[in-house]
Amino acid sequence: MEDKEIFDKIVGIIGPFAKNKENVANVSDGSNILKDFEVNSSRLVDIILALEDEFDIEISDEEAEKIETIGDAVNLIKEKV
Protein backbone atom coordinates (compact mmCIF):
# COMPACT_ATOMS: atom_id res chain seq x y z
CA MET A 1 0.00 0.00 0.00
CA GLU A 2 1.35 3.41 -0.99
CA ASP A 3 2.10 6.11 1.62
CA LYS A 4 -0.31 8.50 -0.13
CA GLU A 5 -3.14 5.97 0.04
CA ILE A 6 -2.53 5.34 3.75
CA PHE A 7 -2.25 9.10 4.38
CA ASP A 8 -5.55 9.82 2.60
CA LYS A 9 -7.39 7.08 4.50
CA ILE A 10 -6.06 8.36 7.83
CA VAL A 11 -7.12 11.92 7.04
CA GLY A 12 -10.55 10.63 6.03
CA ILE A 13 -10.90 8.85 9.37
CA ILE A 14 -9.69 11.80 11.46
CA GLY A 15 -11.78 14.43 9.65
CA PRO A 16 -15.13 13.70 11.34
CA PHE A 17 -13.49 13.69 14.80
CA ALA A 18 -11.59 16.97 14.33
CA LYS A 19 -12.92 20.18 15.85
CA ASN A 20 -10.57 22.30 13.73
CA LYS A 21 -11.77 21.50 10.20
CA GLU A 22 -9.57 24.22 8.65
CA ASN A 23 -6.41 22.40 9.71
CA VAL A 24 -7.77 19.14 8.27
CA ALA A 25 -7.95 20.88 4.89
CA ASN A 26 -4.27 21.87 5.24
CA VAL A 27 -3.00 18.57 6.65
CA SER A 28 0.62 17.38 6.35
CA ASP A 29 2.73 14.51 7.70
CA GLY A 30 3.76 16.76 10.59
CA SER A 31 0.22 17.70 11.61
CA ASN A 32 -0.31 16.90 15.29
CA ILE A 33 -3.56 14.99 15.73
CA LEU A 34 -4.37 16.32 19.21
CA LYS A 35 -3.16 19.91 18.85
CA ASP A 36 -3.71 20.79 15.19
CA PHE A 37 -7.09 19.10 14.80
CA GLU A 38 -8.22 19.69 18.40
CA VAL A 39 -9.02 16.02 18.92
CA ASN A 40 -9.56 15.09 22.56
CA SER A 41 -8.27 11.87 24.09
CA SER A 42 -11.60 10.04 23.99
CA ARG A 43 -11.97 10.83 20.30
CA LEU A 44 -8.41 9.63 19.77
CA VAL A 45 -9.49 6.21 21.04
CA ASP A 46 -12.27 6.21 18.44
CA ILE A 47 -9.73 7.14 15.76
CA ILE A 48 -7.41 4.28 16.79
CA LEU A 49 -10.32 1.83 16.64
CA ALA A 50 -11.31 3.14 13.21
CA LEU A 51 -7.71 2.76 11.99
CA GLU A 52 -7.67 -0.83 13.22
CA ASP A 53 -10.89 -1.56 11.35
CA GLU A 54 -9.87 0.24 8.15
CA PHE A 55 -6.47 -1.41 7.86
CA ASP A 56 -7.36 -4.73 9.55
CA ILE A 57 -4.56 -4.37 12.13
CA GLU A 58 -4.19 -4.27 15.91
CA ILE A 59 -2.61 -1.26 17.59
CA SER A 60 -1.38 -1.81 21.14
CA ASP A 61 -1.77 0.83 23.83
CA GLU A 62 1.99 1.45 23.71
CA GLU A 63 1.88 1.97 19.94
CA ALA A 64 -1.17 4.23 20.21
CA GLU A 65 0.64 6.45 22.73
CA LYS A 66 3.41 7.04 20.18
CA ILE A 67 1.03 8.34 17.52
CA GLU A 68 1.23 12.12 17.69
CA THR A 69 1.31 13.16 14.05
CA ILE A 70 -0.22 11.96 10.81
CA GLY A 71 3.25 10.80 9.79
CA ASP A 72 3.52 8.68 12.95
CA ALA A 73 0.24 6.98 12.04
CA VAL A 74 1.34 6.39 8.44
CA ASN A 75 4.63 4.84 9.57
CA LEU A 76 2.96 2.56 12.12
CA ILE A 77 0.38 1.36 9.61
CA LYS A 78 3.07 0.75 6.95
CA GLU A 79 4.88 -1.51 9.43
CA LYS A 80 1.72 -3.50 10.10
CA VAL A 81 0.19 -4.00 6.64
The pLDDT of residue 41 is 85
**DSSP label of 19:** S
What is the number of structural domains in the chain? 1
CATH number at residue 30: 1.10.1200.10
In this predicted structure, what is the pLDDT of residue 1? 82
Distance CA 2, CA 62 (A): 25
User: Residue 66: which domain range?
Assistant: 3-80
Q: What is the mean pLDDT of each run of 10 residues along the chain (81 residues)?
A: 94 95 92 94 93 97 95 96 90
